[in-house]
Structure 1
């Protein structure tokens, strides 16, 4: 089946007993019956989340039915699941788009953003770690802020991942000159027009929250962080130690080169320059000669600074090329047979 193609499928064999009620309540009012309310598109990427999705969608339906200030649509992007995730999402009344094979968490998010019709787009995971009960508080800050991020408290992961997140937050705060509470949280609501314009910049991997955050700050948008407690997930995490290490390096590189390269390259060039200068002074005073090491360090400082200037220009051009591109909604969602 092609990505996002419409199909007619039978209900899952092990559907919950109250599934018909869930279909009626997951979206409290039809999108066509917005009555002037701002539309919030909730995008949920899911890969083999049949164990977690029913509980999440039931709770989501209960929360949305209590909110009168916005209209909602729920979009589930099935990233090539093999455990019935797609069928469950369809039976619970979500708009479902499927990939024929796993394309990546970021690819699912990009697909969901393209299909979203909302004035605002709310992103959350399908593993149940993002509690829907936080959504009303996120929505309460819309208007004053262009993005509201649920910032994780209480760890929410193994120690090395929490340490990496602290390093990300510190480096990103230094680069952007803004206090960043949680750079990599995927639980957030973003102004729809701004988010759609950033789709060409988003990666197909788990680091898409980093790109969204840096893009919002670079474009001058107001961002709010709200703390929440991460739930333990059922089942097996899709992230592993080896991939986490690669992800760590890629995110550090993205922060260093995407937002403000000179804030990273200029201090490094200065450190190398003054190291070369100090080595020159030391060798001149002790050996009365100018060593090759001093020359190498001084030349390297110039090269590093030049790379910073070039990277800054490339980052600026890459960012400006996104403009206000609004990708069209391209496909019909899968429907219940």
Structure 2
């Protein structure tokens, strides 16, 4: 049986008490101190703890740490998160893999944190991180991966949509084939909200991403994936706070020649209310794809339009000189100068990328 953890230490910010990273925590704080409660009526049972953590240095793995960490972001999932915990715990127990289930309460306004705390009494593999303010699924996955003790980190959702029964299968791919650094559960159906708009929009964005990354991507933004933590850590700082975090980690791997394996899975209708906001999240989604490729390969984005502008401006200059010798319209000058400026920006951005990678 697991006894109480080491005495927590206060954070440098007195308003956010932080236990020792990844090793202990507390259910509540009392003034400037973190208090670990006893389990009333269950003297021999595991003492559930909640860690209040923020962004910081990744946790160093230690001997005896589990092989797998399942990062489970939770925001107002009180009605069904227990079903997801039972399902994930059952399949991982049956698989024989050593694991921890890292549940992250993203400042839920319902009883999600209380449900997680109660579940931790009966499921010893559960660890709980609690945010004091909502950070978004991307923030939850980033901090969860930093705080993970497992070498293989699994991302999934708590809304009953993904085939979490197949988590051991995704992990086994990484164990059997060291050439893969990420395994993605590629969905074969679309059951989300705004289906009439999501399907064509995601198809177009996926094709753009495939062109930019020069890779075939069956599912760009699946939330079910297994990742080698050591490979993912350098790219976590790039993750945005929202849903496009999965797009970011996919492109970050592909643009840096990390191989990704796709395993086709089904996708069920979600339980509870969707947090996806179509117009806002779609805008962020497109912007993130372009931002990521600009970050890794700006020449591929900026140089083609620059060359086209210079070419069109040059041809127009020839025509203008033939029609009106010694007269160059402002539109012609604008085309050529715009192309030169964009091309210069592309070269400068590429220089920054190369100098950054050389550090």
State if a TM-score over 0.5 links the two structures: yes
Assess, with a 3 A threshold, how the Cα gap between structure 1 residues 228 and 318 changes in structure 2: closer, same or farther: farther
CA distance in 1, matches of 2:352, 2:17: 32
CA distance in 1, matches of 2:302, 2:249: 22
Within 5 Å, give how 1:229-268 maps onto structure 2: 229-268=266-305
CA distance in 1, matches of 2:158, 2:266: 16
CA distance in 2, matches of 1:302, 1:233: 49
Quote how far apart the aligned CAs of 1:234 are: 1.7
Deviations 1:186-239 (Å, cap 9, x if unpaired)?
A: 211110111122222222222211221222223322211112111111221111
Quote how far apart the aligned CAs of 1:318 are: 5.0
Q: Point out which structure has higher relative CO (alpha carbons under 8 A, 6+ apart).
A: 1
Quote how far apart the aligned CAs of 1:290 are: 2.7
Quote how far apart the aligned CAs of 1:245 are: 3.6
Partner of 2:71: 43
Of the three residues 71, 79, 87, the one matched with 2:114 is 87
Quote how far apart the aligned CAs of 1:311 are: 2.1
Quote how far apart the aligned CAs of 1:81 are: 0.5
Q: Is 1:125 matched up with 2:157?
A: yes
Partner of 2:187: 152
Q: Is 1:60 matched up with 2:88?
A: yes
CA distance in 1, matches of 2:73, 2:197: 25
Of the three residues 79, 94, 97, the one matched with 2:129 is 97
Partner of 1:2: 16
Segments of 5+ residues of structure 1 without an aligned counterpart are 12-19, 24-30, 322-337
TM-score by length of 1: 0.81
Moved more, 74-83 or 160-169: 160-169
Assess, with a 3 A threshold, how the Cα gap between structure 1 residues 138 and 216 changes in structure 2: closer, same or farther: same
Assess, with a 3 A threshold, how the Cα gap between structure 1 residues 271 and 159 changes in structure 2: closer, same or farther: farther
Assess, with a 3 A threshold, how the Cα gap between structure 1 residues 320 and 79 changes in structure 2: closer, same or farther: farther
Quote how far apart the aligned CAs of 1:315 are: 3.6
Segments of 5+ residues of structure 2 without an aligned counterpart are 1-14, 20-24, 29-36, 39-44, 49-60, 121-125
C-alpha root-mean-square deviation of aligned residues, in Å? 2.7
CA distance in 1, matches of 2:251, 2:190: 23
Quote how far apart the aligned CAs of 1:317 are: 4.8
CA distance in 2, matches of 1:32, 1:317: 34
Determine which structure has more spread, i.e. the larger CA radius of gyration.
2
Partner of 2:22: none
CA distance in 1, matches of 2:274, 2:357: 33
Quote how far apart the aligned CAs of 1:4 are: 6.3
Runs of at least 4 residues off by over 4 Å: 31-34, 316-321
Tell me if structure 2 keeps the 8 A contact 1:257–1:315: no
Assess, with a 3 A threshold, how the Cα gap between structure 1 residues 88 and 308 changes in structure 2: closer, same or farther: same
Deviations 1:20-58 (Å, cap 9, x if unpaired)?
A: 9xx9xxxxxxx9996xx9701000111101123121111
The number of equivalent residue pairs is 301
Moved more, 1-10 or 131-140: 1-10
